[in-house]
Amino acid sequence: MAHWMNLGQQLKMNARKYPQTVALCDARRRFTYPEVNRRVNRLAHRLMQMGLKKGDKLAVLMENSIEIIEFYLATAKTGIVIVPVNFRLVGREVAYIVDNADAKAMAVHHEFTPCVDAIKPQLKQIPPENYIVVDQAKAGYQEYESLLDEAPDSEPDAAVAPSDTWILIYTSGTTGKPKGVLRSHESHIAFFLINAVDFGFDQRDVCMNVMPLCHINSTFFTFTFTYIGATVYIHPARSFRPEEILEIVEREKITFISLIPTHYNLILNVSDEARQRDIHSIKKLLCSSAPVRKTMKTAIMEFFPGVELYEGYGSTEAGIVTVLRPEDQMRKLGSIGLESLGTERIKILDAEGKEVAPCEVGELYSKGPMLFDAYYKLPEKTAAAFKDGWFSAGDMAQMDEDGFYQIVDRKDNMIITGGEHVYPSEVEETIGSHPDVFDVAAISLPDDKWGEKVAAVVVPMQGSDLTEAIIFDWCRDRIAGYKRPKQVIFIQPDQMPRTATGKILHRILREEYAEGEPVFPETDSCPAPEK
């Protein structure tokens, strides 16, 4: 793949090919491809003038913005490795990632400078002059726009190979301390091209980015459109108001959005007035990063008439592994689809490493051109994640007689009660189908008799009268007795711990509720819809 240009190199070509096309825009700014390319070149020169060279790490602690995309593009042009940091993390978590990554510079939005100021003494590898602030000036930081004003806009003189590392991105930590995932330029190029073919994207598309740009989902899907010369509209990840999203779709003629089930749940409960928006520009939707209930898929397709709905399964390490295409949505409800273009046939293996028969549950292993290179400074964990070159993210799955795959659950989330294996996704599917349930997570809690018991953490619809007895009664004739929850815990939407992309952190729930009164990390506050 050595002949394919990386994203930074392709940006230069797009500036020549599409001089009038808006490359990046938000609520107040619009930049064409030539304008973005000039800004990125200036940033690239300034980063190199700060002493950063090929292979050095640049940490970015930023909300979704044009500027964070420019940092991604500038590192692609220079061979510098970008380290996106989740802006929802607290100081000690940020310090761990930045220090573990060996970052030599850091860029932050102004609102996150108090966090960074508090941990600067721990970041001994970053010189005092190598902190950059975006949005407004602050002492102790170089101001972003001033940096650009002082730099040339010529193409930087840097030799970047496809096999070089572009992104060091840390896992969301659903099963423990985050691990740094090294991803090359060529693994992303493969995704951009495969994605464009698999989903049928072209230069006329307008992508709306809502997912946080510190996560692999956004870097994959957002930059696919930059690579092919289309338009990207950038929306803050922490400001998901469904009525506003629909207004932007209408105004900007958005053609594609990647969202998670939580987002769709909020959209499906908007007011009648908001439903009158003209959203017919939407051609394709993706639902990913968390399981999608069957009833929700049907509701999405009813809300967006004529839309092509896709579901993708993948991971930070493997990229996108399977795609459930629009024509299969109704006949294969609950499935994650078939292998994405370029992915070898998936293997479902038992504990002994042998392939299981169709419809039997095993651990999912995949291999393809989007695979990561290694976990940073963790050779043992890298080796443990592979089996003869096949990678597993720890998900339990099964394949049906037609070759379609279904995720049963994460191996680490499996509940073993009285010797019986219970997959939380099945319990969540059952409880989540109750009309008064907004969200639910099934977890294991210690039990003197059975070792573990099934517990349900439920977010009720606003104004509902849900009780534990109602949940028990709902489950009675729908799932086997050993799968039914023995305890129901009711919480508010902002108390459900999630990763940056909406995956529920079952581990946090297990730890907190096993020990007593829960103390949750910072999460998005998503109000439950009216009943």
DSSP states of 205-269: -EEEE-S-TTSHHHHHHHHHHHHHT-EEEE--TT---HHHHHHHHHHHT--EEEE-HHHHHHHTT
Q: CATH for 7-12+32-183?
A: 3.40.50.12780
Place of tokens 């721990």: 122
Alpha-carbon span 314 to 197, nearest angstrom:
17
Candidates 75, 81, 84; CA nearest to 41 is 75
> What are the CB-based long-range contacts (under 8 Å, 24+) for 460-464?
460/436, 460/490, 460/528, 461/435, 461/436, 461/437, 461/528, 461/529, 461/530, 461/531, 462/438, 462/527, 462/528, 462/529, 462/530, 462/531, 463/530, 463/531, 464/436, 464/531
In the chain, CATH 3.40.50.12780 sits at 7-12+32-183
How far is residue 213 from each of residues 89, 261, 287, 349, measured CA to CA in Å?
14, 18, 17, 33
What does the block give as tokens for 410? 């994460």
Report the DSSP pairing between strands 395-399 and 390-391.
unpaired
What does the block give as tokens for 87? 């802006």
Does the 414-515 domain belong in CATH 3.30.300.30? yes
Contact assessment for residue 493 and residue 461, using Cβ atoms and an 8 Å cutoff:
no
| Ramachandran quadrant class, 419 (left: phi over 0; alpha: psi -120 to 50; beta: rest) | left
End-to-end CA distance of the chain: 53
Q: Report residue 89 CA to chain centroid gap.
A: 15
The pLDDT of residue 278 is: 96
The pLDDT of residue 418 is: 65
The pLDDT of residue 394 is: 85
Residue 392: φ, ψ to 5°: -125, 135
Query: Within 13 A of 340's CA, how many CA atoms are on the CB side?
Result: 28
In the chain, CATH 3.30.300.30 sits at 414-515
pLDDT-flagged residues of the chain (< 50): 1, 174-175, 516-531
What does the block give as tokens for 175? 């099963």
For 122-142, b where at least 16 C-beta lie within 10 A, e where not — what string?
ebeebeeebbbbbbeebeebb
